[in-house]
Structure 1
Amino acid sequence: MPKLVNHEERRRQLAEAAWRIIRREGMEGVSVRSVAQEAGMSLGSLRHYFDTQSELLAFSMKMVSDQVNARMEALEFTDHPVEDIERFIGELMPLDDERHTEAEVWLAFSVKAVTVPELQKLQEEVHSALYEGFTKAIYYLAARGMLKEGVDQRAEAMKLHALVDGLVLHHTTRPEQVSREDIAGLVSSHVRSLLQ
C-alpha cells in the first residue's frame, strides 16, 4: 500500500527549511536546491510542491503572516482595553524566540519583495492589514472615550505602525542595543501617552 503523504505538512516543512536557511545565511542562501537539501528531500520532490523559488518564498512569507494572524485571532478581549491593545501589538513583535524568528524571516522577505513582483502583492496585503489593525486599535480606544481630546486617530495609527515596524527592525538587527523589554515598554509608553 502506498505511503500517504500530507501535502500541506510537506509544504510547511519546506517553508520552515527556507526560514532556517534565511536565518543562517540570509535570503541569498535560499534556492530550490538548498531548501530541498535542508528539508532532506530531493529536488524533484520539492518541485512537486513548488515550481519556482518565488512560489516557495511567497508560500513561506504567507506562512509567517498566517501564524501571526492565528495568534492574534485567538486573543480574547477583556475589560482592560489598554492591556488588550498591548497584547495585540505584542503578537507582532519579537518578544520570544518564535516571534523573533518570524521577524527575521519577514524582514528578509520584505527586502526581497522590493525586487520580486511575485512577492510584492503579498507584502502590500500584509502591510495594509497591519495598518488596518493599528487603525482599529486606536479606534477601539476612542470608542471607549479613552483618548485625549484632539487626538488625530488616523495620524496616531500611522505613528503606531511606524513605531512597531521600527522597533521590530531595531531589535531584530541590534538586539544587544534594543532589548525585548525595551520594545514592549516603548509600545506601552506610547499607547498610554495617548490616553486621557
Structure 2
Amino acid sequence: MPKIVDPDRRREAVVEALFRVVERDGLEQASLRNVAAEAGLAIGSVRHYFDNHAELMVFAMKAMSERVGNRLAGHFDRLVTAADRLEVAFDMLAEVLPLDDSRRREVVVWLAFVHAARTRPELRSHADGVYDDLITLATRIFEGGRRSGRLAPDVDIALEARRLCALLDGLAMEAALHPDRMDPATTVAVLRRHLTSLLVHSGP
C-alpha cells in the first residue's frame, strides 16, 4: 500500500526546515533545494506543496505569525479577568521578544523575513499586516489601562502605541543580535520600566 502523507504535517515539516536554514545560514541560503535537503525530502516533494520559493516564503511568514498570534490569544481571557492587567499585558508583549531559545529563533527568522520584505512585494503586505496587528494590540492594552484608571490621564494612546512597538522592535533586534548585551533579564527590565512609567502612581 502506498504511504499516506498528511499534507498539513508535510508543509509544517518543510516550514520548520526553512526556519532552521534561515536561523543557521541566513535567508539567502533558504532555496527550495536547501530547504528540501534540510527536511530530508526530494525537491520534487517540496514542489508538490509549494510551486515556488515565493509561495514557500509567504506560507512560512503566515505560519510564524499565526504561531505567535495563538500564544497571544491565550492571554486575552486573562486580560479581561485579571486583577493586575499590567502583568498580563507584560506577558503578552513578552511573547514577541527573544527571552528563550524558541522565541529567539522566531525573532531571528522574523527579522530576516522583514528585511527581505523591504524589496519583495509578495512579503511586504504580510509584514505590514503583522506590524498593524502589533499596533492594534498595543492600543488595546493602553485603552484597557485607561478604562481601569491605571493609565496616566495625559498619555496619548495613539502615539504611545507606536512608541511601544518601536521599543519592542528595538529590544527584539538588540537581544537577537547582541544577546550578551541585551540578555533576557535586561530586556524584561527595560520593557517593564517603560510600561510602569505610563501608569498613575499613588502615594507621595
Amino acid in the other structure paired with 1:176: D
Unaligned runs of 5+ in 1: none
In structure 1, the partner of 2:112 is 108
What is the TM-score with the length of structure 2 in the denominator? 0.94
2:93 aligns with one of 89, 99, 107: 89
Residue 61 of structure 1, CA deviation: 1.2
Is contact 2:146-2:153 (8 Å) kept?
A: no
In structure 2, the partner of 1:140 is 144
Cα distance per residue 1:84-138 (max 9 Å; x no partner): 1101101111111111110000000000111111111111111111111111111
Residue 2 of structure 1, CA deviation: 2.2
Unaligned runs of 5+ in 2: none
4+ residue runs over 3 A deviation: none
In structure 2, the partner of 1:54 is 54
- Report matched runs for 1:160-171 at 5 Å: 160-171=164-175
Is 1:8 paired with 2:8? Answer: yes
> Which of 71-80 and 6-15 deviates more?
71-80
Q: Distance in 1 between matches of 2:170 and 2:41?
A: 37
| Percent identity over paired residues | 37
Q: Distance in 2 between matches of 1:68 and 1:133?
A: 13
CA RMSD of aligned residues (A): 0.9
- Report matched runs for 1:20-31 at 5 Å: 20-31=20-31
Q: How many residues align?
A: 196
Amino acid in the other structure paired with 1:158: R
What is the TM-score with the length of structure 1 in the denominator? 0.97
1:130 is paired with a residue of what secondary structure?
helix
